[in-house]
A and B are shown apart, each in its own frame.
Chain A
Amino acid sequence: MSRNRIHSEQQMVRRFTRTFIVTHWLYASSFLALLVTGLPMYTEFFDWLYPVLGGPATARQLHRIFAVVFVVPFLILLVFDRASLKNWLKQILSWKKHDFQFFAAFPKEFFGFHTDMPKQDFFNAGEKLNSILQMFSFLLLILSGVFMWFPKYFPKWLQVWSYPIHDIGFGLAIAVVVGHIYLSIGHPSSRVSIKGMTKGYVPMKYVEEHHGRWADELRRQGK
């Protein structure tokens, strides 16, 4: 039984491009690195990380390096895979009835009960919300981060407002990330979607169950 044959029987559908996948993981790993280097400043509870990281000064230095890596994925998409970026943005900005209905059905599904979920787009409403919140917190973090990094070039009121804004951006991002990670690798009904972010392909059956409108579209295109 060759795996490939199974895949063709099972019918896998391309979901994400290679570039999109690489940028996702680059983003994810720099987020993690920023988290680790920033946590001891966020709360004393993680002060033990300072010695691990080589002291506060080094931690702050590393935080800045990873901050640069953090913006690279966006630039890569912008230059090398504008199609994916465009599709992504277009999708997450389109909100129709079935998107709002998603949230009524989602809690039941999330806790493992059967629900009648309205057909979803290429990105379901949860993924759309995740993307929007991530982008929003990304903007907050980067902007406030720049003001804090280069205090000489910005007025003081921007500095003092950057502290809470950086904090809010982080709080938002981390809360969302927990759910995102669980849904993509832990939750029994959606965890197969991780394949879209590793190999780029997802099973057609998953598409039909979770992204009905996209499945319809694929069928219309005769794929």
Chain B
Amino acid sequence: MPEFVKLVDVTKCTGCRACMVACKNWNDLPAERQEFQGSIQSHKKTTAHTWNVVTYTEYEQEDGSLDWLFRHSACLHCKEAACVKVCPENAIGYTKFGSVVIDSEKCIGCGYCVNNCPFKVVELAEYKDEQNDKTYYKAQKCTLCTNRLEKNMQPACAVTCPTDAIVFGEQEAMLKQAEARLAEIKPLYPNANIYNPPGVGGTHAVYVLPEKPSVFGLPEDPRVPLSATIWKDYAQPIGKALFGVTTMAVIGAFISNSLFRRHENLEQVENEGGSEQ
């Protein structure tokens, strides 16, 4: 099964927000009112109910002219995803398409993934249990429309995008297309680059950006947080090993004590009334 990539060419984006609407529509997500952000941007960032947000950045170029930059922002579907690494319930996993998907059944709403995502994409949704009036939480984010991929369809945003700023296809073809586009825009945008950050093993959503990533609110060098690596690759295995070692030592001591121990037992001495003294 070839891996797939969603290629987002922000230079073609007109900021029409059709992808946002398509996403809400397909995933049956409720409208979410937020305070006025002070710009035309609808939401501050992605939330548990708004899985993609088109960001609007007013950017002053070196020559003083103003650029209005749009970016379709959503989960990047990292190949080495921090959210997958830290989830204590194994509720997040990779699909055969390469997408990163949360299993709501398993999610306990601890929020570890929220705190560790280098792109601050995933968030917790609050639900109310009607029966016992308890609130509970589930992490929610873009699924790359994995349920559509399973039916041989493309993600809703990619299908909807009127300017082909979002396209979807096999990884190799998409990366080639990105390179070609980069070459095209380089003369106009000397800072242009392809955003496919190696710190998270590359991503299944790749951007063509005309300016530095930070201009678009993306981290320049995103990584799986060091704390997550120490936690999952060292602290946890070492802790379990240590527990195993002391347990084995105790079992060994138990056996060897019952086999080899000769001298008298203090308890017996006491119970027999110190007759040996």
Contacts and interface: CB of A to CB of B under 8 A. Distances in A.
Interface of A: 1, 6, 9-10, 41-44, 47, 56-57, 60, 110-114, 151, 156-157, 159-161, 163-164, 167-168, 170-172, 174-176, 178-179, 182, 186-189, 191-192, 203, 205-206, 209
Contacts of B109: 56-57
B24 to A, nearest CB: 28
B231 interface: yes
Interface string B101-144: 00000001111100110000000000000000010100000000
B249 A189 contact: no
Given A42-B236, A56-B109, A206-B266, 11 more contacts: A6-B270, A41-B110, A56-B108, A112-B257, A112-B258, A151-B111, A163-B231, A171-B235, A171-B238, A182-B254, A203-B266
Contact of A188 (B115, B236, B257): B257
Main SS of the interface on chain B?
Answer: helix
Interface-centre pick from B109, B235, B238, B252 (highest chain A CB count, 10 A): B235
Contacts of A170: 239
Contact of A160 (B134, B228, B254, B257): B228
Interface of B: 86, 88-90, 108-112, 115-116, 134, 136, 225, 227-228, 230-231, 235-236, 238-240, 242-243, 245-247, 249-250, 252-254, 256-263, 265-267, 269-270, 273-274, 277
B107 to A, nearest CB: 9
Contacts of A191: 267
20 contacts: A1-B273, A41-B88, A56-B108, A57-B108, A110-B249, A111-B252, A112-B259, A112-B260, A163-B228, A167-B231, A168-B235, A168-B239, A174-B239, A175-B246, A178-B243, A178-B246, A178-B247, A179-B250, A203-B269, A206-B266
Contacts of A113: 260
Nearest to A5: B273
Contacts of B89: 41, 44, 47, 56
A167 B225 contact: no
A110 B240 contact: no
A60 B146 CA distance: 31
Contact of B245 (A151, A156, A175, A182): A175
Nearest to B273: A6
Contacts of A163: 86, 112, 227-228, 231
Given A192-B266, A203-B266, A175 B243 contact: yes
Contacts of A114: 262-263
B126 to A, nearest CB: 12
B250 A178 contact: yes
